[in-house]
Amino acid sequence: MKKNILKISSFIILTSLVLMACGAQPAETTAPVEEIISSNEVIAEGRLEPVQGTNLTFQARGIVEEVLVKAGDSVSEGDVLVRLANAGAAEAQVVIAQNAYDSLLRNESGDRAKLWQAYMNAQIARADAEEDWEDLNVDSIEDRIEDIEADIEDLREDLQDAQEEFDKYSNLDEDNSRRQTAEDDLETAQENLNDKIRELEAEIRERDEVKAIYDSTLAAEAEAKYQYELSLDGPNADQLTLAKANLDAAQDALSNYVLTAPFDGVIADVNVKVGEQVGTETRAVSLANFDSWIVETTDVTELEVVKLSVGQQVTLNPDALPDLQLTGEVVEISNAFTQQGGDILYTIRIKVNESDERLKWGMTMEVTFLEAE
């Protein structure tokens, strides 16, 4: 570790000076050399990582059929990177599930529009029927019905009288004039009664048909309104939920055979070739967003971590780029630890404030935590 190397180097220099002083003549007195080191200064080593970076692997075994990217390519979230040969069936299932889901969405929207139109049409029909009912002079019709019913009672009596008169002559010869006259009177009385009954039925229909139509339109409007309001909560909610679950399952199954970019970034490495057998243990593609960086320390001890705090400013010096100095800020101090060679170590995450095109994923960084002024 760099900070240990610095301490060892200082120790060797001091030891050499002491030995040289012992062998020299005491002709001159040399002032002792002092190294000024702040007791609160913490210097650590870390690794440079992109804020977004991942190694992608397949979740199933298969033969690589297509490699659609190469190192350095820029990709967008959802872009297909690598496909296995057995991805076709899974892709077909995704298409089927997507079409079913989209169809339900379209139908739901279309059905709601139709239900709204049906509700509007029902309102118009009800308004027309209501106007007809209001225009109808019901009192006049009921008065006529009462008059006709009274006439019918009189005609029933006339029919009864005609029947009794005919019964007197019913045993006579059919050519008998008295019998014929009585029979004709009976037929006339029956026809008069039938005509009056039909007149009564017509009056009743005039009243009841308009009322029935009005009542029917009221019921139709209420049902149309209920169906439309029901559609606002999604008449196909259960079907949509099931279709979405089927689509998600199909997409999950497809992800076993097709690698897609989980975010916008740059292909850092491609580790597979067409025709190669791969499995869950094979790192296929490395993807990162190199627009922003973090540094994770690897050697901050328990004695040092207590001196650090979130928001503390740091300077960063890449080992490979000694002319480059960056600044950063502590964004996270791990509460968990690792043990290495007897040391208890904690990981500190540092946001890098600047970037440089020469920076590479994994570079070693010297981290100096600055004391608050």
The reported pLDDT for the residue numbered 284 is 92
CATH number, residue 112:
1.10.287
Distance CA 202, CA 209 (A): 10
Do 103 and 195 fall into the same domain?
Answer: yes
Give mean pLDDT in consecutive 10-residue pieces for the chain, a chain of 373 residues. 47 48 48 51 92 89 90 93 81 80 70 81 91 90 92 94 90 89 92 93 89 89 84 66 81 81 93 90 92 93 93 95 95 93 93 92 94 70
Asked if residue 88 is part of any domain, the answer here is: no
Q: What are the distances in angstroms from CA 244 to CA 79, 108, 249, 257?
A: 22, 14, 9, 21
Beta bridge partners of 48: 295
The reported pLDDT for the residue numbered 41 is 78
Residue 24's contacts (CB-CB under 8 Å, 6 or more residues apart) are none
How many structural domains comprise the chain?
A: 2
Distance CA 331, CA 107 (A): 49
Is 336 within 8 Å of 300 (Cβ atoms)?
A: no
Asked if residue 43 is part of any domain, the answer here is: yes
The reported pLDDT for the residue numbered 127 is 93
Do 37 and 111 fall into the same domain?
Answer: no
Asked if residue 89 is part of any domain, the answer here is: no
Indicate the residue among 238, 273, 294 that finishes a domain. 238
119-121-127-129 Cα dihedral, nearest 10 degrees: -110
CATH number, residue 66:
2.40.30.170
Indicate the residue among 177, 203, 238 that finishes a domain. 238
Do 156 and 220 fall into the same domain?
Answer: yes
Tokens at residue 279, please?
Answer: 């499995």
The reported pLDDT for the residue numbered 237 is 65
Is 312 within 8 Å of 328 (Cβ atoms)?
A: no
Do 157 and 199 fall into the same domain?
Answer: yes
Asked if residue 74 is part of any domain, the answer here is: yes
Q: Residue 70: how many CA atoms within 13 Å on its side-chain side?
A: 0
Do 226 and 328 fall into the same domain?
Answer: no
In which domain, by residue range, is 185 found? 97-238
Tokens at residue 183, please?
Answer: 């029979």
The reported pLDDT for the residue numbered 323 is 94
Asked if residue 203 is part of any domain, the answer here is: yes
Do 10 and 64 fall into the same domain?
Answer: yes
Do 163 and 208 fall into the same domain?
Answer: yes
